[in-house]
Structure 1
Amino acid sequence: MSSAWSWYVIVLVVLNIGGCVWLLWWTARRRPGDPKPEDTSHVWDGDVTEYNKPLPKWWINLFYITIVFSIGYLVWFPGFGSFAGTSGWTSAGAHDAEKARRDRQLEETFGVYADQPFERLAQDPAAMELGRSIFANTCAACHGSSAQGAPGYPNLTDATWNWGGDPDRILQSVLDGRQGVMPPLGTVLEGIGGDVAVTQAATYVRALRSEDIEATLRSDYMAARGKKYYDSLCIACHGPDGKGNQDLGAPDLTVRNTLYPNTLDSIRTTIIDGRHGVMPAHRDLLGETRARLVAAYVWSLSQSSATAAAQAPPERQ
């Protein structure tokens, strides 16, 4: 606060306190010629009389005590311009003290789970409840309250993981974040074979999800033509069989649980404009232990899904 503003505040405070004292004194005192408390000329309806009785002394003294208290408050706490107060109290200091107290409470709550293996955390109901709570507060905005994601946001309950689904990789994703970049290839393909080349490449990518890719290529001319574009532009990241590369975050193109809709128009958009997916880092926000708890919770969701799929009866042909 500049000295000009400080003096402005000081003058306002002094005028307000002085004005309250003067107003209290001026209105409470009796002047020569004032009628006695029981005498007045104000009478209505013959017997309704207005008296001129002053406020009780205890009421007046209570006002004076309030004024004295306000002066003491301004001496003890900051509020009188740039004067810091004799207590040394500041809102920033109070915030830091409260934060330190809360951090100690959190450390006591989460400290017992530090460095515990994921398998043990996943079998601990209390740990999973904490992980679920952290997920709801931090992750549900993107991945949904059920962790099943949305277009562009991965489903965390299935077995499809662009960056790997083992505990260490999930923990690394939570702590340090991820950035998946699919470069735009529309200009390149259109330069080679026009817009039809984009459609052919998209058709081949969609065909990778068929049960028999070779049979699909023999029966689908557009997919067969698109394979050469895939082999020249896409194979470096997604691999010759389209199963992706978890070190790069390149998706497995053979699965049906895709990050974006499995439609020809959506695949064409991906090829033409590219995609840029960002998972923000949470190391500073959550710390190691809370990140481990929420990562263990996410890992347990995919494990439950895998177990249910393994126990499900085979589909009838």
Structure 2
Amino acid sequence: MVRSDSAVTGPPGRRYYGEVTVGEPRLSEDGRLEVGEDIADDGTGKPGPTGRPMPVFPVPDALTSHGPAWVVAMCNQKGGVGKTTSTINLGAALAEYGRRVLLVDFDPQGALSVGLGINPMQFEVTVHDLLLGGDVDIQDTIVETQVENLDLLPSNIDLSAAEVLLVTEVGREHSLARTLAPIMDVYDVILIDCQPSLGLLTVNALTAADAVIVPLECEYFALRGVALLLQTIDKVRERLNSRLELAGILATMYDARTLHAREVLARVVERFPDEVFHTVINRTVRFPETTVAGEPITTYAPTSVGAAGYRRLARELMARYATPPAVG
């Protein structure tokens, strides 16, 4: 390591485990997130940004042990939709809830590392070396971040060569899965920040993953590539990774003041009613500031709307995928 309860019905097709109430999370006077009810006159939840009743997802219980890791690929072939921002801040929010989280920088640009205040060019060994099967221990490659429970597997521009070098390798699509295998019992969640393409590196991420989150900017042109991405996910599921599922589509950079953003979000929910998260990430100037600061929004601006959004997303994910209680 390097330093630097019973099922509850959610939206159609979804099952939530544990207690899920209706309403909006609120911040208490001391800045902690707490649950507050927001009930309509008919007893249902008032509509959230997606137009559906907004549940409140409970703060998860503390874990008594860690692992095996649940692997999630943050994927969209379109750039600038909030993949890296969402990877960093969702990871930090999960870590805040006591989960051990590993962030995998799987983009040669190294933006994930930079977003955590880490210079990716300082490392002699990165995920690139692990993929190519060198005599490298992944534990010696992982970097501790300044956030408790949050670690990083860094990359840099060297990763751009891996896609070419892996082409001739046997089982090339499983290279990342083999790389992560030794540390699966160390972490609770592994988040992979994919590059904006549908090439071999992204296929590797999908083959290693249990689930995919698709960040989608609330802008018309962002919609156009979603169908192609979902086709790719289906092909990987059929041919390489039968356990792969779509965790959800995450609306990002949402500005409720603009008609365009509201219309785009409505179209996404209409087209993918069961796949869109209740949580929507609002556009805020805080996100560019956190990139300059090199830290997650949950620590840079912990009481901000952006921090609350990613905490809500973390709780929604854990509510969706928590292990149901044993029967008998």
Verify same fold: TM over 0.5.
no
Structure ID, larger Rg:
1
TM-score (norm 2): 0.25
TM-score (norm 1): 0.26
More strand by share: 2
Q: Which has the higher contact order (CA 8 A, sep 6+)?
A: 2
